[in-house]
Amino acid sequence: MSRQESPSIRLADIAALCGGRLEGDPDAIISGLASIDRPAADRLSFLASPRHLPDRFTVPPGCLLVTETHAAAFTGNRILVADPYLAYAQVSALFAEGQGREDSRVHPNAVVGPGSVIGHRAIIGAGAVVGRDCRIGDRVVIGHNAVLEDGCEVGDGTRIESSVTLCRRSRIGRDCVLSPGVVVGASGFGYAPEGGRWTKIHQLGGVDIGDEVDIGANTTIDRGAIDDTVIGDRVKLDNQIQIAHNVRIGDDTIIAGCTAVAGSTRIGRRCRIGGRVSILDHLVIADDVVLNAGAFVASSIPEAGTWASMIPAQPASRWRRIVAMLNRLESMRNRSRGDGD
């Protein structure tokens, strides 16, 4: 896939997209985004807080997304919005790679199996393999060396990046992003004990991923044992997450990196799960639950709220004293019970 030229977008169009009020030249051209620390004259930056504003600009940004409260901090082109960070997220789509494609392209070194249907304006990169009877929607991008096994479905506008693997009969919704190294639909970890040995339980289900789902690099989502593993609409998964077989994750939930969710657990809608959280199998977690980083979840959570279970880092000498105190609690309780008898 060839490198694209940077788009050129009028400030008036950017303001209309994010619903902001433009103060400046509506015909000024923006060709990309830049951080507030490294602005450029043709780039758009955002100011979430005045403490992030440099003392002076060597080169001022071409335009600044800023709240009305903080607008006086910058006198150049500016777009006044209620939430600059959200507006930046909306505008970033204008500059994402793959915008403006007009044709479908299958690289000569790609393989497309018999019975597969490739949508309008789709791109399939070098070394990619699309198996038999797959359905690839319009404007889909399949990156270099990605593998889609037989019977996979990918919705319109989804981006499958390099070295992603979709195992047989995986279904991906529209406008999703699967980052490099993602594996969807590998066999779940299921074994039955047999006389001190383990007999494999073959995983016969699939994976069903909703619309507008983002999946970070090297995250793995196992297929179901019988029923499917299900990821709801607009779920956001960070890098290196493990989702086991038959897990169901509700719409609009977000999960940070290195979290592991064991088999058949159900996570509700709009949950926020921090990094390195461990969730045991066959649990039910309600809607709107927040799990702080490092939490260990061993039982179901029946109602919304914030949960934590990790001692934060602190000087080692203090940590040792706290652990020693915790170890003494049981003996203190036993002595108390003895005194009360």
Every domain range in the chain assigned CATH 3.40.1390.10: 9-95
Over the stretch 256-272, which tens digit does the pLDDT of each residue have? 999 999 999 999 999 99
Distance CA 3, CA 294 (A): 40
CATH homologous superfamily of 105-307 equals: Hexapeptide repeat proteins (2.160.10.10)
137 close to 124: Cβ distance less than 8 angstroms: no
Instruction: Count other Cβ atoms within 10 Å, centred on residue 143.
Output: 21
On the question of pLDDT at 119 being above 60, the answer is yes
Q: Which range (4-18, 43-57, 138-152, 323-337) has the least confidence?
A: 43-57
Tell me the mean pLDDT in the region 27-43.
89
pTM above 0.95, yes or no: no
On the question of pLDDT at 2 being above 50, the answer is no
Share of the chain above pLDDT 70, in %: 92
Per-residue CA distances from 75 to 28, 54, 64, 123 (Å):
15, 14, 9, 43
233 close to 210: Cβ distance less than 8 angstroms: yes
pLDDT at 151: 96
Distance CA 7, CA 320 (A): 57
Give 6's pLDDT tier (boundaries 50, 70, 90).
Answer: low
Distance CA 49, CA 59 (A): 20
pLDDT at 3: 44
pLDDT at 1: 40
On the question of pLDDT at 97 being above 70, the answer is no
Every domain range in the chain assigned CATH 2.160.10.10: 105-307
pLDDT at 330: 77
Tell me the mean pLDDT in the region 71-79.
87
Share of the chain above pLDDT 90, in %: 70
What amino acid positions are annotated as catalytic residues? 245
Give 47's pLDDT tier (boundaries 50, 70, 90).
Answer: confident
Chain centroid, CA 339 distance in Å? 55
Taking all residues of the chain, what is their mean pLDDT, rounded to a whole number?
90
Over the stretch 120-137, which tens digit does the pLDDT of each residue have? 989 999 999 999 999 999
Give 93's pLDDT tier (boundaries 50, 70, 90).
Answer: confident
Q: Which range (20-34, 105-119, 320-334) has the least confidence?
A: 320-334
On the question of pLDDT at 203 being above 50, the answer is yes
Over the stretch 270-299, which tens digit does the pLDDT of each residue have? 999 999 999 999 999 999 999 999 999 999
CATH of domain 9-95: 3.40.1390.10
Count helices and strands (H / E) in the chain: 3, 39
On the question of pLDDT at 7 being above 90, the answer is no
Tell me the mean pLDDT in the region 178-199.
94
